[in-house]
Amino acid sequence: MRTPVVQINRSVMVNNLKQIQARVAKTGVELRPHIKTHKSTELAKLQLELGAKGITCAKLDEMKVMIDGGIDDIFLAYPLADEEKISEAIDCGKTIKRLIFSVDTLAGARLLSKIAAEKGVESEVRIEIETGLYRTGFTKAELREQIDELKCLPNLLITGIYTYRASKNVSGAAVKDTFAAGVEEATLMVEIADFLREAGLDIQDVSVGSTPTVLGTLEVEGITEVRTGTYIFNDAMQVAYEVCTLEDCAAAVLVTVVSVHGDRAVIDGGSKTFATDVQPTETPVTIRGFGIVKGKPEIVFSHMNEEHGVLMLNGAAVSVGEVLEVIPNHVCSTINIHDSYRFDDGTVIETSARGKVK
């Protein structure tokens, strides 16, 4: 087998899917997984078969791949801010059962309203709420100032709110207690949903959650939907946050040792094989290196160039030609680097939405 290649343990992956689906179903909350992790219409359909309500996409082109693959209930959880994309998205929505847009500014909502009116359609919309990640989303203060105009915009059917905060607290700092972070996130969202209902909006969906915080969010009454993504494969970051164990990591990058010099080895995978967006850290959690070498915990994946990954062996024995399995720090970005990945039974799956960033 030629390396580097991403390999998926099918039984671990299916167990991950079933476990979260069962936990969510027990609470009566819907699961709308984010396909950013696997980027595959095939695996999105498997999630739906196991009970997911619909799927979540980030980008328009990503959504179009899912529609072409036969998926007809999609939340586009990313604010669109140009007329061409909005027009194209509305046209795509006409071909499926349900398309939910997102807005996080009054200017963006006005633009969506304008184009929906021009096309003679009513677009379903969720309002994004800022809860601590400090990325996109209305703050509560902004909503107070702008809600009167927002709720009156024509051709928009505002049915819900959503947020994404990952393992952060309300101040935006990373925290290790992801369960508590999830409770805090969901509590804030329920409060804002109540505020918007009092302001005259019929808020039906309160959508939250990420893989780290999902179990905490499920503890809060009033949440209607969670949008986990990484849970299908898990990764070294989830292990570091104690969200899962190493045995729950379904995806590994298989690499070959091409060079050994003393206590240093080089593998045939660098930054064109492994995502580098999650860097090694010490606080609040320890992430050692750029991935976990399975079966050899003393090894630290210390640094990389484009095609070279450097391992500090710390006494571990490896040999030239040996194939190692490395659990990447961030599996979502790693999958997006690869045209395809393989299951442990040899089946190859195309990364059908790979690189769809527009």
Question: What's the pLDDT tens digit per position in 211-246?
Answer: 999 999 999 999 999 999 999 999 999 999 999 999
Give the pLDDT confidence score for residue 38 in this predicted structure. Answer: 98
CA separation for the pair 134, 132 (Å, rounded): 5
User: How high is the pLDDT of residue 209?
Assistant: 82
Q: What pLDDT score does 170 carry?
A: 65
- Mean pLDDT within 123-150: 94
CA nearest to 125, candidates 150, 147, 103: 103
Q: Looking at the predicted structure, is the pLDDT value of residue 138 above 90? A: yes
Report the residue count for the chain.
358
pLDDT beyond 90 at 55 = yes
Average pLDDT over the chain, rounded to an integer: 96
Reported as a single tens digit per residue, the pLDDT across 164-212 is 987 766 666 778 899 999 999 999 999 999 999 999 999 999 999 899 9
In contact, 72 and 244? CB cutoff 8 Å:
no
Instruction: Look up the pTM and report it.
Output: 0.95
> Count of CB atoms within 10 A of residue 327's CB?
24
Average pLDDT over residues 300-306: 97
Q: How far apart are CA 338 and CA 217, in angstroms?
A: 32
How does DSSP assign 290-343, residue by residue? TEEETT-TT-EEEEE-SS-EEEE-TT----TT-EEEEEES-HHHHHTT-SEEEE
pLDDT value, residue 1: 84
- pLDDT tens for 68-96 read 999 999 999 999 999 999 999 999 999 99
* Average pLDDT, integer, range 145-172: 89
With a cut of 80, say whether residue 306 has pLDDT above it: yes
The residue with tokens 């039906």 is 204
The mean pLDDT of 269-287, rounded to a whole number, is: 94
In contact, 162 and 193? CB cutoff 8 Å: no
pLDDT of residue 182: 94
At residue 169, the pLDDT reads: 67
Q: Which residues contact 45 (CB under 8 A, 6 or more apart)?
A: 69, 70, 71
pLDDT score at 282: 86
- 204-217 per-position pLDDT tens digit: 999 998 999 999 99
Is residue 130 pLDDT above 80, yes or no? yes
| Per-residue pLDDT, 342 | 97
- The fraction of the chain above a pLDDT of 90, given in percent, is 93
In angstroms, what CA-CA distances link 161 with 197, 233, 249, 282, 316?
Answer: 11, 27, 31, 34, 50
In the predicted model, what is the mean pLDDT of residues 18-35? 97
Helix and strand counts by DSSP (H, E) for the chain = 10, 17
| 157 and 205 Cβ atoms separated by less than 8 Å | no
* Residue 161 in this model has a pLDDT that exceeds 90: yes
What's residue 250's pLDDT? 98
- According to the model, what pLDDT value does residue 171 have? 66
